[in-house]
Amino acid sequence: MNLIDRYVTEVGKNLPLLKGRADIEKELRSTLEDMLEDRISTTGRMRDEAMEIELLKEYGAPDKVAETYNPTPYLIGPRLFPMFIMILKIVIAAVALGLTIATGIQIMKQSPMTVVELLKTIGEWLLNIVSASIGAFGNIALVFALIERFAPVSEFKMDEEKEWDPASLMKEPEPDDVKPWEPILAIVVTFIVISIFNFNPQLIGIYSFDGEKWTSFPLFTDAFFRWLPLMNIAWAAEIILNGMLLRSGRWNVSARLTSIGIKVVQIAILWLLVTGPAFLAITPEALKATEIFDADSAQTLGTMAQAGIRIALGLGIFGTVVEIIKTGYKLIKQKLALSA
């Protein structure tokens, strides 16, 4: 392998994983050979290693050359950045709100508290906000980076440029229009759910008050929480979808495609839960252990709860499939209307 070949291979290693990598390498090799030939004819020198080194030095470091072929040299580009910032702000606010509510519940449950315990709880609350915000930032950045890489620009116009027509104020709302409070509410609720499931899962349970203090009984087993990363992706995508709706004010083609994608992930999660081990902690044994129910009642209730939740999730899968079909139908109608 000569120097030119080694250089081309080195550039190839640094090229982004895009279609046509071999083609770029082939063209680069051909160009370098052309340039060398040009030098030989203009200088009258013989081709040697020194000439190749001189040429390659001028052409530039392999990583820099490869960088020029990178169509998206940023994690989140200018097309998505305003949306990214907008969602990040709503999400951080929602995280802070969710954790504040969760901490409030915790203080109420544990009261009366000593000053030290109270300060400790407040400290944990602040730390949770910081770590949850960093986690939220990471999740949102990951989803946006994936959209940046894989979503076609033509389909995912996050900020559709359309001429504003004052006459639109006179029109009746169209079925595709979205009221601004709907996506905002959805984003806030989703983030409260994310912060509770990720940072305060102990709050998800059945509560009882015996006149002196609150006791809680966990609702889900570890089998449920093992799918949490997948749920986080679906929730993060849901937030992005609502950000798109907030920005465009209507269900456009890209929003409907995103919605279908999210529903497919939701079906996968529901399927994994239905077919996996018991994820509901309300089992006959657990109910018996609470000493609230006798053995027979615990057995009946526990069995019913286990069967009931699976039936409910089965219905959830069916409902989501229906939703996908409905969204797909609206999408086709919209596409036909756009092309007409």
The residue ranges that bind other proteins (CB under 8 A) are 20, 23-24, 26-28, 30-31, 33-35, 38, 59-60, 64-65, 68-69, 71
The answer to whether 183 touches 246, Cβ cutoff 8 Å, is yes
Closer Cβ to other proteins, 19 or 171, answer by number: 19
Q: How far is the CB of 31 from other proteins (least distance, A)?
A: 5
C-beta pairs of 205-214 under 8 Å, 24+ apart in sequence:
206/282, 208/292, 213/109, 214/108, 214/109
Closer Cβ to other proteins, 63 or 294, answer by number: 63
Q: How far is the CB of 34 from other proteins (least distance, A)?
A: 4
Amino acid letter, residue 111: S
**Could you tell me which residues are beta bridge partners of residue 23?**
none
Q: How far is the CB of 10 from other proteins (least distance, A)?
A: 15
Q: How far is the CB of 146 from other proteins (least distance, A)?
A: 21
Kindly tell me the sign of the dihedral angle through the C-alpha atoms of 126, 196, 85, 64: positive
Cα–Cα dist 80/98, whole Å: 26
Collect all residues with Cβ–Cβ distance below 8 Å to 213 and sequence separation of at least 6: 109
Q: How far is the CB of 252 from other proteins (least distance, A)?
A: 23
Length of the chain: 340
Q: How far is the CB of 30 from other proteins (least distance, A)?
A: 5
The answer to whether 232 touches 247, Cβ cutoff 8 Å, is no
Identify the residue whose tokens are 């946006």. 144
Q: How far is the CB of 40 from other proteins (least distance, A)?
A: 13
Cα–Cα dist 191/93, whole Å: 9
Q: How far is the CB of 77 from other proteins (least distance, A)?
A: 15
Closer Cβ to other proteins, 59 or 293, answer by number: 59
**Could you tell me which residues are beta bridge partners of residue 177?**
250
Closer Cβ to other proteins, 60 or 82, answer by number: 60
Closer Cβ to other proteins, 44 or 71, answer by number: 71
Collect all residues with Cβ–Cβ distance below 8 Å to 256 and sequence separation of at least 6: 327, 330, 331, 334
Amino acid letter, residue 246: L
SS3 69: coil
Closer Cβ to other proteins, 57 or 171, answer by number: 57
Closer Cβ to other proteins, 29 or 109, answer by number: 29
Collect all residues with Cβ–Cβ distance below 8 Å to 75 and sequence separation of at least 6: 141, 144, 145, 148
Closer Cβ to other proteins, 38 or 159, answer by number: 38
Cα–Cα dist 185/142, whole Å: 23
User: How many of the other CB atoms lie within 10 Å of CB of 318?
Assistant: 12
